[in-house]
A and B are shown apart, each in its own frame.
Chain A
Amino acid sequence: MLTFIARRLALAVATVLAVVTIAFVLGRATGEPGALLLPDNATQADVEALNSALGFDRPLLVQYLDTLVGLVTGDFGDSYRLRESALGLVLERVPATIELAFWAFLIGLALALVAALTIQLSGSRVLRAIVGWAGALRQSVPDFFFALLLVLVFSVLLGALPSLGRTSYASLVLPVITLATGQFVMYLRLLDAALSEQAGQDFVRTAIAQGQRRSTVLFTRMLPNAIVPVLGMAGLNLGGLLGGTVVVEVVFAWPGLGKLLTDAVSQRDFPIVQAGLVFVALAFVIVNTAVDVLVRRIDTRTAAA
């Protein structure tokens, strides 16, 4: 287990390094930020003066090394536009992002688990058809539109929930519902397919032929075997959620990472882009390592390999 974690740490470092390098190259390839930061009527001399003040007139290699040093020391520089520490700006947004991602993920996965197990226990084709239809309906509606529908119903018509900002737990409800329903549909599909596959396994038949209850077999035999591939998918997905969910953040004016990062990219605000990407990459690696550890606990065959 120790060598496994050590290997994962090395991989994490490599991942972050690769992400930063790619971001650096792509960022520089799209031009210098001076012109974007200044008003339209700024002269070429003004633009160049700003670029050189920001250090863009230095050789690329020096700029790159500078970025790497910043990466190691945790100093990504100040945001060009906001004149504040880029890392500080990113970290300020992180709690909101984690809060949203965590609840959406947890609620989506838990509901999917409950629904998939209920379908298996009842053996009802009607129930599966209904849930499947509702899922298809949800998936056929884009997130932003679904979010607007929720706002229309719960905020405008019923006046029950806030539609903007991050002010109270109530303001979490609508964005979480928007994301969780999407998560729910995906996990339900995966779990239902995995459980149905397990239902046909010989060892499931063995257990039933021994006189085990079908519900016991479902929970002790089918579920552990079915959950392994779903967990792998869940890891990737939670990592994605932690990277920010721009659409939902924009609709609900949620102060998360996604909006900050997209704005930073379009404004060439490199310090924020770098700091944000490092956080996202780290979150991704940590979540996936946690999932792998979990999978290895459930399925010891993978640990042996």
Chain B
Amino acid sequence: MSTVLSIENLRVETDGENPRTLVDGVSLRVDRGESLGVVGESGSGKSLTVLAALGLLPVGTRVTAGRIVLDDRVLVDVEADVWAGERELRALRGRTAAMVFQDPMSSLDPLRAVGAQVASAVRVHAPRLGRRAARERAIELLTSVGVRDAAERAATRPHQWSGGMRQRAMIAMAIAHDPLLLIADEPTTALDVTVQAQVMDLLAEVRERTGSALVLITHDLGLVAENSDRLAVMHHGRVVETGDTRAVLAAPTEDYTRRLMAAMPAEQERAIPAVRTGQADALIAENIVVDYRVSGRKTPVRAVDGVSVRIAAGETVAVVGESGCGKSSLAKAVLGIQPASAGTVIVGGVPVRSELAARTAAERELAQIVFQDPYSALDPRLTVHELVAEPLRIRRVYDRATVATLLADVGLDESYAKRLPGQLSGGQRQRVGIARALALRPRLLVLDEPVSALDVSIQAQVLTLLDTLQREHGLGYLFISHDLGVVRSIADRVIVMQHGRVVEEAPTAQIFSDPQHPFTRQLLAAVPRLDGPRRTARTAAA
């Protein structure tokens, strides 16, 4: 038979008296050599479904119905009361089906050399291989996934590897035994877009070699469009639509699929700019230089090297670039969190000192920040009301009505005021973060990847909210992002940074239609699109 993995009517529930159903009636099939994309937002059950296939469900959840067959072996058949033992599953994990997880930063043991970790993945299913042979095989594998100087780098620990390189090491481990099936759970979500393209190329390339089928779990429709043969769309624990990837995306039959596609950032610039003339510029930053002292090195590391940014009132300027390009350091210099070692910063027409500690309270009010991760940016013990009231209390201008107005501005009614962050969704938390940033009536908002932790449908809502607030208050936005799709739909101008310098600056439309710098072109080409080029890995094994 040519089916590698078949899941029928799978149901996953939480343990306990009142079980919650997390996956319900899900059926999926993966054939030899093919690539199946599983798409859904967080909480759709897409990861649980495949984790169940390898008996890797998190503690507190279990399979309560359905049948799972991997490589003609029945692993679970609830009706027939068949449950594969740990021993049987162990023999399959990593050999028949191997996984590549989302976050390469945390998926490798921080204490062990990367080479040793690859070698131990080799030896699991080849115990008779000696240590030395396993180490040689590990270096071979690392070389095969594009790690240069693998023999030397193998001895170093994960913290000395970049995110993209770590994901290569993860892939090296996954292909150690030429598995029939590779399961990649959001394999590139934590990576830069250019690195994402490299990793997806690599996955296609190794599949060509090994003939492995692929299950690609992601929230990114563009990624699925470019990397899968068939597609399954999941929503609230169910598969709502499945079929040939191209066909589904060309003519989605289900309402939810259509909504998901509509929520993708539009491939067009915003129609009506919100720039206000006659008001002081929200930000004039000139020749900003940021140096970091690194212990053990005499010369400091220069993260930002003479960058100038001007943002008018009501204007959105996006700064894009790969991680480490200096975009976050620039934002920190504007805010004074990481003082610029040279350059001037003028916020809302007021020149401010480079160090936050040296700025007066009135100067600090001018620029506020909205953080990337709404889950860690809010004190879990404060209510929504208190979170928004805090900056007002610090400045002794607190009153209830102001807080209520701020919450109403971001679309949260009275009933949210008494809730704790734990009782809010990601999108609602980010709204609280925005309300808090607006509390002191700043002229400039620094938005540091404000929507990258959110699902696409929520992203769209938050971006709309930001647009509305900008028009209302004439705010200038310094928008830090690695997601060019998001940038296109909200920014008036785009600054592209590389190695601490600006390589291109232009109005948004021009950046996307006529990029000048090779790096800008590379960035744009790496963005997965619904109609992007297809990575095929169809092989003789099919």
Q: Which residues of A contact B (CB under 8 A)?
A: 201-203, 205-214, 220-221, 224-225, 298-301, 304-305
Contacts and interface: CB of A to CB of B under 8 A. Distances in A.
B99 A209 contact: yes
Interface in B51-78: 54, 56
A209 B99 CA distance: 7
Contacts of A304: 159
B157 A206 contact: no
A299 B111 CA distance: 6
B173 A211 contact: no
Contact of A206 (B92, B110, B125, B170): B170
18 contacts: A201-B106, A203-B109, A205-B56, A205-B101, A205-B107, A206-B101, A206-B107, A208-B56, A208-B93, A209-B54, A209-B98, A210-B93, A210-B173, A212-B90, A221-B109, A225-B111, A304-B159, A305-B295
Q: Which of A201, A207, A298 has the most CB of B within 10 A?
A: A207
Main SS of chain A's interface residues?
Answer: helix
B108 A206 contact: yes
Interface string B110-125: 1110000000110011
A211 B125 contact: yes
Contact of A225 (B54, B110, B121, B173): B110
B94 interface: yes
Contacts of A209: 54, 56, 93-94, 98-99, 101
Contacts of A299: 110-111
Contacts, number: 70
Nearest to A298: B111
A211 B95 contact: yes
Contacts of A225: 109-111
Contacts of B121: 210
B110 A301 contact: yes
A210 B124 contact: yes
Question: Top 4 closest A-B pairs, CB basis?
Answer: A211-B94, A210-B94, A211-B93, A202-B106
Q: How large is the interface on B (under 10, 10 to 19, 20 to 34, 35 or more residues)?
A: 20 to 34
Contacts of A208: 56, 93
Interface of B: 54, 56, 86, 90-95, 98-99, 101, 103, 106-112, 120-121, 124-125, 157, 159, 170, 173, 295
B456 to A, nearest CB: 24
Contacts of B109: 203, 207, 221, 225
Contacts of B90: 211-213
A224 B157 CA distance: 14
Contacts of B103: 202
B157 A300 contact: yes
Q: Which of B94, B103, B125 has the most CB of A within 10 A?
A: B94
Contacts of A201: 106
Nearest to A198: B109
Contact of A224 (B91, B108, B111): B111
Nearest to A227: B111
B159 A301 contact: yes
Contacts of B110: 203, 225, 299, 301
A41 to B, nearest CB: 65
A213 B89 CA distance: 10
B111 A210 contact: no
B178 to A, nearest CB: 14
Contacts of B56: 205, 208-209
A221 B93 CA distance: 18
A220 B106 contact: no
Contacts of B91: 211
Q: Which of A203, A220, A224, A298 has the most CB of B within 10 A?
A: A203
Given A202-B101, A206-B170, A211 B92 contact: yes
Contacts of A300: 111, 157
A231 B56 CA distance: 31
A43 to B, nearest CB: 64
A163 B94 CA distance: 58
Nearest to B87: A213
B124 A212 contact: yes
Contacts of B54: 209
Q: Which of A206, A212, A304 has the most CB of B within 10 A?
A: A206
A200 B377 CA distance: 22
A298 B112 CA distance: 9
A221 B112 CA distance: 8
Given A208-B56, A225-B111, 5 more contacts: A206-B99, A207-B120, A209-B93, A209-B99, A224-B111
A205 B159 CA distance: 19
A209 B101 CA distance: 10
A103 B92 CA distance: 46
Given A211-B95, A213-B90, A224-B111, A203 B157 contact: no
A296 B109 CA distance: 16
Q: Which of A207, A210, A212, A214 has the most CB of B within 10 A?
A: A210
B293 to A, nearest CB: 13
B117 to A, nearest CB: 8
B94 A203 contact: no
A224 B117 CA distance: 14
A123 to B, nearest CB: 9
Contacts of B93: 208-211
A52 to B, nearest CB: 54
B106 A203 contact: yes
A202 B107 contact: yes
Contacts of A205: 56, 101, 107
A225 B112 CA distance: 10
A239 B207 CA distance: 56
B407 to A, nearest CB: 34
Contacts of B108: 203, 206
Contacts of A211: 90-95, 124-125
B248 to A, nearest CB: 29
B9 to A, nearest CB: 24
B373 to A, nearest CB: 17
A208 B106 CA distance: 14
Nearest to A214: B86
A222 to B, nearest CB: 9
A199 to B, nearest CB: 8
